[in-house]
Amino acid sequence: MAQYTGMILTKKGRDLQAKAEAGATLTFTKAKIGDGQLGQGQSLENLNDLISPQKTLAISSVQAESGGLCRIRTNITNQGITQGFYVREIGLFAQDPDLGEILYAIATAAAADYLPPEGGSTIVNNQFDIIVIVGNASSISATINPSGLVNQEQLTKLQGQVDSLAKTVVGSAVVTGLAFSVVGLTASYTTGTAYVSGVKFDVAAGSIQLNANQGQYIYLDTDGKVKGTTDQSAAQAKCLLWYFSTNATDVITSTDRRSVIDSTQFVKQTEVAANGANKIPRLDAQGKGVFSITGDASTVAGKTVGNAASNVPLSNGTLNTNLNADMVDGYHVGTGSNQIPTRDANGKLVADQLARLKITKSGKDANGKFTQVDYKRESDNTLFMRSVLSNPDANGNYQTDTWTYYKTDGTTVAETKVWTITYDADGDITSVA
């Protein structure tokens, strides 16, 4: 068994430790092992690398512990070792924010172990923990190599996750076999595979003796054995297989109580994708997916796609007769405010705006006729329309009526309409065009 001195911080390691205690992140990057021995005049504190590095070790985990300690976990294997050596030195490397990667700490062996080459009769795969003092470092991390070997702790944790998943997804059920037949009071069962609370068992064919004059439940127990009980709930708590009711010599009732799972009910990961032919669609992080519905789908909610009445409309420029649309350009159809107006029973538009205009007359001539009429909006008193009479004949009858419409500001002209007025010999108006 190798015996090592405690890990000694190098000078650069101590400088990095001070930076970490001041707020910098202390990031461990890797470990190394070697077979070097300290020479005369050499100091461990001044080293920038191992004296004779032989193998680089990936970090599998880092854990801060009480007392200002930190546990860095790695694995020592002889994988890739072509020539064996004695492991006399172990170094821990870290990332300095100013200098880059440095040798942070080093330990040497008073009694070293031999690491044999790969391919021999000895296979080495040992979990190895390096414990260093990190003091009051506020943040500690490590560069974890995802291709590193899985240690026993990780395997145990993974096995627990697999068992939990199997228990949740599969539970207790029969995959294949375990069918029963009876002769007298002997029940025989076929070879089969079943799960009991997520644990899989491959069961060889066998038989079980039934009790006379009794109702009994046959089940697969957590030890992988086929057993019988009169307690239905106890059997259902394991993996219930069959029910038998017997008289003194034979089976009266035989009922298959297996819960058989079908492997086709499970979806392969390769069958699920964000897109692609013959794939089950996968949603993204926002719950959305890129889907295209094409091909032979001829109806949507029972309606045919097209441009005829009762069709789901197509956006292709073709008129869809009798399309019932809720809104047009963001407006409803009706008689209320901000609605598209409808005609009344007589086919007339109700001109509510004109009915609420204030009328002002001006420009009275010598004959007492007003030559200008202003129509102003009731809501804000802005000018809506102005009518101006002009071009009088010899009798003083005005032959031109100019209507000027204004925008909502009351000053910008929106439209102008000029009417020509015709009179008869009596001075009465006969047409306006």
Nearest partner of 28 among 152, 131, 126, judged by Cα: 131
- The single-letter code of the amino acid at 221 is D
Task: Write down the mean pLDDT value for the chain.
Answer: 82
Please tell me the predicted confidence (pLDDT) of residue 342: 75
Confidence of residue 148 (pLDDT cuts 50, 70, 90): very low
* Separation CA 357–CA 376 (nearest Å): 5
Per the CB < 8 A criterion, the answer to whether 371 and 390 are in contact is: yes
* Separation CA 286–CA 284 (nearest Å): 5
| Whether the model pTM is above 0.95 | no
More confident residue, 270 or 6: 6
Q: Which range has the worst mean pLDDT, 127-131, 135-139, 275-279? A: 135-139
Q: What is the pLDDT of residues 238-263, one digit of tens each?
A: 999 999 999 999 999 999 999 887 65
Neighbours of 239 (CB within 10 A): 26
More confident residue, 425 or 354: 425
Q: Quick one: what percent of the chain has pLDDT higher than 70?
A: 78
What number is the average pLDDT over the span 136-146? 62
Per the CB < 8 A criterion, the answer to whether 105 and 13 are in contact is: yes
* Separation CA 192–CA 184 (nearest Å): 23
* Separation CA 3–CA 51 (nearest Å): 18
pLDDT at 207 over 90: yes
For residue 302, what is the DSSP state? T
- The single-letter code of the amino acid at 57 is L
